[in-house]
Amino acid sequence: MKTHNFSIEFFPPKTAEGIEKLRVTRAKLAELKPKYFSVTFGAGGTTQQGTLDTVMEIRREGHDAAPHLSCVGGTHESIRAILSEFKANDIHRLVALRGDLPSGYGMGGEFRYANELIEFIRAETGDWFHIEVAAYPEMHPQARSPQDDLNSFVRKMQAGANAAITQYFYNADAYFRFVEEARKAGVTAPIVAGIMPITNSTQLQRFSEMCGAEIPRWIRLKLASYGDDTASIKAFGLDVVTSMCERLLAGGAPGLHFYSLNQAAATTAIWQRLV
């Protein structure tokens, strides 16, 4: 496992209590020795300071950390200022995204798609940053077709991204197929599988509807059958997700990126079964 690219994602906490809880979570997850932690960035810059503060705190604790940066609603000037701040803080790795503004906001800003952000980062900062981008094995929900979405992904890689992290999924075949098609289209960079542990079926259903990730029927029905029995949901989720991770790694996935939702238990349990 140590040869794999294993990373863990947090969101920046909004309250003092959340900050303290994340410190405890991070101390536990740091024992797994991930390659880096990443910290999400609220679209429109809503968490800009929280993202940077969290990244800097993780770095002071001696771990590598990457801020996410989303461009929707941003201007060249505002993104330039953020990149300068990252550089001034000696940050060399970031996850670059378009982001989604809440409905009703329109798109606005000077960037329409993530490939424009990657081009801008490379034009402004050369090779300073190692850039990861998002990939969608089950298609991004706004894409016109899987082929269009693949073309968009290839454009982001050609714009200068170093690697990709996928949206989460529970169907390993979708991942393998996507990687195969990306390779045929000339993408040679690592495509790390994004992993969402299953711990809460209502929350999972809500997230999945928003981001277009499919919960296979058999998993949905099993989860529903457990009702409020959270221990059974967690045990089942652990089995299902661990088996999928094993299959992904055996099938050549270069690594796993865990959407931790600022919780340590599920990621730790999966990871300990994999090593």
Rank residues 178 and 236 by Cβ distance to ligand FAD and give the closer one.
178
Per CB under 6 A, 208 contacts ligand FAD = no
Residue 138 CB partners (closer than 8 Å, separation 6+): 167, 169, 171, 174, 212, 213, 214
Rank residues 167 and 263 by Cβ distance to ligand FAD and give the closer one.
167
Rank residues 40 and 200 by Cβ distance to ligand FAD and give the closer one.
40
Per CB under 6 A, 156 contacts ligand FAD = yes
Per CB under 6 A, 70 contacts ligand FAD = yes
Segment interacting with ligand FAD, rule: CB under 6 A, options 19-27, 75-83, 142-150, 202-210: 142-150
Rank residues 52 and 233 by Cβ distance to ligand FAD and give the closer one.
52
Q: Which of 68, 159, 256, 260 binds ligand FAD (CB under 6 A)?
A: 68
Give me the least distance between CB of 96 and ligand FAD, in Å please.
7
Per CB under 6 A, 165 contacts ligand FAD = yes
Rank residues 89 and 272 by Cβ distance to ligand FAD and give the closer one.
89
Number of residues that bind ligand FAD (CB under 6 A): 24
Segment interacting with ligand FAD, rule: CB under 6 A, options 123-131, 149-157, 202-210, 233-241: 149-157
Per CB under 6 A, 113 contacts ligand FAD = yes
Per CB under 6 A, 98 contacts ligand FAD = yes
Asked if residue 260 lies in contact with residue 267, where contact means CB atoms within 8 angstroms, the answer is yes
Per CB under 6 A, 194 contacts ligand FAD = yes
138 is an active site residue: no
Question: Among residue numbers 120 through 139, which ones bind ligand FAD (CB under 6 A)?
Answer: 134
- How would you write the chain as a 3-class SS string? CCCCEEEEEECCCCCHHHHHHHHHHHHHHHCCCCCEEEECCCHHHCCHHHHHHHHHHHHHCCCCEEEEEECCCCCHHHHHHHHHHHHHCCCCEEEEECCCCCCCCCCCCCCCCHHHHHHHHHHHHCCCCEEEEEECCCCCCCCCCHHHHHHHHHHHHHCCCCEEEECCCCCHHHHHHHHHHHHHCCCCCCEEEEECCCCCHHHHHHHHHHHCCCCCHHHHHHHHHCCCCHHHHHHHHHHHHHHHHHHHHHCCCCEEEEECCCCCHHHHHHHHHHC
* Catalytic center residues: 9
> Which chain residues interact with ligand FAD by CB under 6 A?
40-41, 43, 68, 70, 95, 97-100, 113-115, 134, 140, 142-143, 148-149, 152, 156, 165, 167, 194
